[in-house]
Structure 1
Amino acid sequence: MSGYRLHDPAALLAGLVAPFLVALALVPSRTELSATNEALIMVVAVVAVAALGTRAAGALAALSAAAWYDFFLTRPYRQFAIDDGEEIQTAVLLLVVGLVVSQLAVRVRRLRTVVSDAAHLTSLQGTARLVEDGGSPEEVVEYVRRELVGLLGLRGCRFEYGSLLGHRPRLEHDGTLWLRSGSRITEYARWPDGETELRVVGGGHYYGRFLLGPLSGSPLPPAEARLVAVALAAQTGAALETAGLSRQG
């Protein structure tokens, strides 16, 4: 997929508007700041857009920054023209640096995604390897419990064998978080108070649940992390089924 595909209108709008607003805010102090300092401030706006948006948005922000720097911060003011040779160089450098930095910001964000995906894969592979090597059910449960703490940013996690006790918010197989109470269903966008259950099922039989202890009110982790957590619970269920533990419920 090309990084220049225009698929995020909000990011593109930010790329166009953010440098304009920054340049406008600098107008009252343009006689006090050097051209270099003004250009550096404009670069910050470009980086902010590139870090949150797409590559196209970052490139648009760089072009917008150079244009509004020329219009508001160089003589003659409020014209797309520059009389001073040094200011021309500064404007050109602003454009070049803005483009380069926007590309770097996008690559850093993608690298973080790759690293995150690699960590998720490592968690799943570690569980599978432990099962293949004949790890006991207790070892598998403990390994997954530790992985869930890091994966979901929990303050704690414990495993409860046996039948269900009471009703708790539940992390579902599709990564969503629900509380079902009779006919009432509540979906959460943040971690609820108390513990959240992640059920462990193997061969269609219930063996227990991980009780997740997040920081109360903290945002839910990304959907990818939640889906990996569900996959880890499924691996645990398969391991318990293979070990032939007594089935619950």
Structure 2
Amino acid sequence: MPRYLDRDRLALLAALVAPLAVAVVLLTFRAGLPNTSIALILVVIVVAVAANGNRLAGGLAALSAAVWFDFFFTQPYQRFAVTKSVDIQTAVLLLVVGLAVSQLAARARRLQVVAITDADYLARIHDTAELAQSAKEPDTVVDHVTAQLTTLLHLRGCRFEYGSLIGHPPRLEPDGTVVWGRKRWDVDRLGLPNREIELRTFGNGRFYGRFMLDPTPGTIPPLQARLVAVTLADQTGAAFGTVGSG
């Protein structure tokens, strides 16, 4: 049997077992840890499963984590029922963020890089997903992600263009690479190109606009940061798809 099939089967088993096992361990700390911290710990487990398996394993781990979070850490305990709106929101966000980072980890696995487990990266994804769920206007998410991208990629500036594709600037691709014309730019050796780079935003298959990134000369954002940037743009597109652009 091919080794990758063994690995994927083990990942599927881990997707079912690992969130439950970690949730049982965390029961000891239930009185002292806020539910948001417990949710983030479970997200790390989802990332680990996805990084060593595939998207299916990551999605199953995210679902498993959300189910056991509901069962063990929301009142009434040991029942599949949630009575507090804040716990419902946390459980939904755990599932949404878990699915998002599992996609990110699976993408990273294909590129043979370390999975995204940095707490700062996870917090950025979590905060943006939470805002995308609650924002009444997509512009709120756009402004938030603009600020996130500026600090994440150490940019001089960042702006959002609605529904326009003028010119042919370098483009940050979904796999974290940068394409300029028909050539791939070696970001890890040369840094980002010294001109604006576009990061396109889609929601439900519809193009809504693009973030225009103004790099700081000499900075080389790691691949993990660029993958997180793509995920933040995806969440912006989801906000447009949910709330609408008007």
Calculate the TM-score normalised by the size of structure 2.
Answer: 0.49
Of the two, which has the highest radius of gyration?
Answer: 1
